[in-house]
Amino acid sequence: MGWGVILPILTSMAYAVTLICLRQGIRSGTPLAGVLTINVLVSAFGIAAAWARGTLQASSLTPLLWFMAAGYLGQGIGQITFYAGIERMGVSRATPVQSATPIWAVLFAFAFLGERPGLAVWAGTFAIVAGVALLSLGEEGEARGRARGSRGGLVYPIVSSVLYALVPIFAKAAFAHQKTPFVGLGFAFLGGTLILLAGRPLLPGGGKVRADGRAMRWFLLAALSTAAAASMFWTALTFADVAIVLPLSRLVPLWVVALSYFFLGGLERITWPVALAALAVVAGGVLITAFR
């Protein structure tokens, strides 16, 4: 396996740690507080790393605008819709749905990057769709014993998956001008922060930002794991295809289900439909990657 495969897999592992930390943090803090903490710290890390490497000083305006646009969609609107889904559905349910991103990414890569997916790519896409459908059926089956408002929670991770699929497309457009991954993640997370702050009054409850000491410790850990995940993801995009990087970076459900079982026993109930849905999404990612 080359680094174009290894880095995305490590990205998925690091991001799974992020989700577990966030789930713990929002027990005494708000999702927006967690998202802002992550975005600000990762943006600062990326810009500082780019400055130290000298790539920030050599950057031009056009790729910076592409990076910012990617952040507006992914780290901005995409993040808040995903974490809203976590709050309503639980991390082990929202994550497989949000991991449907490869469905849209394959279509966008076909339309905008000229990639031509083969039969295995489409088979993997259908496997992901099957996983999402299985998760949806499980959600409906549990609806009687849950709050009525939770039934609409599925829309949040779906919207997030579409927006995140556009991030590598915009990143590739920027990398056509300059291959500077740390500049990319620094300005993408900066763009996400600006969108969150600008749209805060439109968020449910006015976008409350609240976190006690316990929550901040978890949010800081989430920021560290996100910085690692983003660094590996953006670096992989500089030399590997979207059809390889994105599906492998979305193997998160496998790690989240395992981590939820061991660390979120009191918060999450892992059922067979949830586990099978996660495995279906993972199988789809493997098909897209290994047999493209």
pLDDT over 90 for what percent of the chain? 39
Q: How far apart are CA 207 and CA 279, in angstroms?
A: 34
Give the pLDDT confidence score for residue 102 in this predicted structure: 78
DSSP per-residue codes, 93-147: HHHHHHTTHHHHHHHHIIIII-----HHHHHHHHHHHHHHHHHHHHHHHTGGGS-
Q: State how far the Cα of 139 lies from the Cα of 231, in Å rounded to an integer.
A: 34
Q: Specify which residues 29 forms β-bridges with.
A: 211
Angstrom distance (rounded) from CA 134 to CA 216 = 35
Which of the four pLDDT bands, split at 50, 70 and 90, describes residue 147?
Answer: very low
Per-residue pLDDT, averaged over 81-86, amounts to 76
**How far, in Å, CA of 224 to CA of 219, rounded?**
9
Cβ atoms 80, 194 nearer than 8 A: no
Asked if pLDDT for residue 53 goes beyond 80, the answer is yes
Q: Are 254 and 33 in contact (CB under 8 A)?
A: no
Cα 232 from Cα 10, distance rounded (Å): 8
- 6-40 confidence digits (pLDDT tens): 898 899 899 989 988 988 898 899 888 998 999 99
**How far apart, in whole angstroms, are the C-alpha atoms of residue 33 and residue 148?**
26
**If you average pLDDT over every residue of the chain, what do you get?**
82
* Torsion angles phi and psi, residue 29, rounded to 5: -140, 175
Is 98 in contact with 82 (CB distance < 8 Å)? Answer: yes
**Predicted local distance difference test score (pLDDT) of residue 141:** 44
Interval 123-146: pLDDT, tens: 877 787 677 666 555 544 444 444
DSSP element (H, E) containing 222: helix 213-237
Distance, CA of 183 to CA of 102 (rounded, Å) = 24
Report the alpha-carbon distance of residue 37 to residue 220 in Å, rounded. Answer: 7
Asked whether 238 and 272 are in contact (CB, 8 A), the reply is: no
Classify 155 as helix, strand or coil: helix
Listed residue (156, 153, 158, 152) closest to 101, CA to CA: 158
What does the pLDDT look like over 108-118, one tens digit per residue?
988 888 877 77
